[in-house]
């Protein structure tokens, strides 16, 4: 019998490999560069705050938080992303810590941070309850939890729905990432452990792609989850062509004069005492 710990280890290894594919740094910098700064502002990050960015990737939120004067730890499961983040932080003159860590089992003390952030990151941890428990645990009483997550109804949520028929089945117990963009799901995850919970839908304007095909080809080359799905059907040219068509059709419906608007849920909450 396969032990659950071995299954979990294999799932995490696949997640690391997926996010190391392509160039998430390019997506963060070229497609959604302002999203991290928006989250930092919503969280009220300021000088001297002890901040943890969970599933930080290459630092889309962590670097602006450090530049705002906070003492920041950027944690992520994928070491390749952390290495890129270190280089980007050095270029921008930001000083912060970079640590490999699992969002479902963070290696930090209870209440260690004043503000706990995640910018379209923690939503990809497969077990949402475990990840939410960790976000709450490491935030001090009275501290702030702030999250930005793609909504199920928004463009990225619809993209994941379009890719699902082509993707391998998810591991047992894994939940769809865009559920973190559903208000009721987030309320259930955080529960009465937080106060002053504010959930607001917003959009990030994307003007990087002139055509639907340009979007598709960019994500096909740069975005780890999309690359992984294409690899899963690579030996079947008909399914590759069908996926090509589905992603281009989706982008075409959302593209208006070279502009797309991607919806996300912005969450802020204060940890209860």
Tokens of 20: 């190391």
Average pLDDT estimate for 97-112: 98
- For the chain, the helix, strand and coil percentages under 3-state DSSP, each to the nearest 5: 50, 25, 30
Does some domain include residue 231?
no
Beta bridge partners of 54: 75
250 domain-assigned? no
Indicate if the pLDDT at residue 246 is higher than 80: yes
For the ranges 168-177, 214-223, 230-239, 244-253, the lowest mean pLDDT is seen at 168-177
> Looking at residue 118, what is its pLDDT?
98
Whether this prediction's pTM lies above 0.75 is answered by yes
CA distance 247 to 85: 29
Tokens encoding 232: 């899963």
Average pLDDT estimate for 96-115: 98
Cα–Cα distance, 35 to 195 (Å, whole number): 24
User: Contact 110/137 with Cβ under 8 angstroms?
Assistant: yes
Range of the domain at 153: 4-204+261-271
199 belongs to a structural domain? yes
Residue 229, in any domain of the structure: no
Structure tokens that stand for 197 in this block: 């919970």
Residue 233 domain-assigned? no
What's the pLDDT tens digit per position in 167-201?
999 888 899 999 999 999 999 999 999 999 999 99
Nearest CA-CA partner of 249 in 189, 161, 123: 161
Dihedral sign computed on CA atoms, order 173, 152, 134, 75? positive
Q: pLDDT averaged over the chain?
A: 96
Q: What is the pLDDT of residue 160?
A: 98
Does the pLDDT at position 7 exceed 70? Answer: no
Q: Residue range 128-152: average pLDDT?
A: 98
Whether residue 2 is predicted with pLDDT greater than 50 in this model: the reply is: no
The dihedrals phi and psi of 172, each to the nearest 5 degrees, come to: -55, 135
Does residue 212 surpass a pLDDT of 70?
Answer: yes
DSSP secondary structure code for residue 183 in this structure = H
d(CA 117, CA 28) in angstroms, rounded, equals 16
In a domain, 218, yes or no: no
pLDDT for 1: 36
Phi-psi region of 39 (alpha: psi -120 to 50; beta: other; left: phi over 0): alpha
Kindly state the tokens that stand for 273.
């005492």
- Report residue 264: phi and psi, to 5°: -140, 165
At a CB cut-off of 8 Å and minimum separation 6, what does 123 contact? 55, 147, 149, 150, 177, 178, 179, 180, 181
Cβ count within 10 A of residue 194: 22
Q: How many domains does the chain have?
A: 1
Residue 124 lies in a domain: yes
Confidence of residue 10 (pLDDT cuts 50, 70, 90): confident
pLDDT computed for residue 80 by the predictor:
97
Backbone angles phi, psi at 135, to 5 degrees: -55, -45
Residues 108 and 87: beta-carbon distance below 8 Å: no
Per-residue pLDDT band for 11 (boundaries 50, 70, 90) equals: confident
Instruction: Evaluate whether residue 115 is within a structural domain.
Output: yes
Closest C-alpha to 209, from 272, 157, 255, 150: 255
Q: How many CB atoms lie within 10 A of CB 32?
A: 21
Q: Quick one: pLDDT at residue 5?
A: 59
Backbone angles phi, psi at 12, to 5 degrees: -65, -40
For the segment 50-70, the average pLDDT, to the nearest whole number, is: 98
User: Which CATH number do you get for residue 182?
Assistant: 3.40.50.150
What pLDDT does residue 3 have?
A: 55
């Amino acid at each position: 019998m396969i032990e659950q710990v071995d299954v979990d280890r294999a799932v995490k290894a696949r997640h690391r490999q997926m996010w190391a594919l392509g160039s998430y740094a390019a997506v963060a910098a070229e497609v959604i560069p302002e999203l991290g700064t928006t989250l930092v502002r919503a969280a009220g990050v300021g000088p001297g705050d002890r901040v943890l960015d969970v599933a930080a990737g290459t630092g889309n939120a962590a670097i602006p938080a450090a530049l705002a004067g906070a003492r920041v730890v950027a944690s992520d499961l994928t070491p390749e992303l952390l290495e890129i983040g270190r280089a980007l932080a050095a270029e921008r003159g930001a000083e912060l810590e970079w640590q490999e860590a699992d969002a479902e089992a963070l290696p930090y003390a209870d209440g260690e941070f004043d503000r706990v952030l995640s910018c379209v990151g923690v939503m990809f941890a497969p077990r949402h309850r475990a990840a939410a428990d960790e976000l709450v645990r490491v935030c001090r009483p009275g501290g702030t939890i702030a999250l930005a997550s793609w909504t199920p109804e928004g463009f990225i949520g619809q993209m994941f729905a379009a890719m699902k028929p082509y993707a391998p089945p998810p591991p047992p117990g894994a939940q769809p990432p865009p559920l973190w963009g559903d208000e009721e799901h987030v309320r259930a995850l955080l529960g009465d452990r937080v106060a002053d919970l504010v959930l607001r839908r917003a959009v990030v304007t994307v003007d990087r792609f002139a055509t639907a095909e340009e979007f598709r080809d960019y994500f096909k080359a740069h975005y780890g989850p999309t690359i992984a799905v294409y690899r899963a059907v690579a030996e079947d040219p008909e399914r590759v062509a069908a996926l090509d068509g589905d992603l281009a059709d989706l982008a075409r419906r959302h593209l208006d004069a070279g502009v797309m608007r991607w919806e996300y849920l912005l969450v802020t909450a204060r940890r209860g005492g």
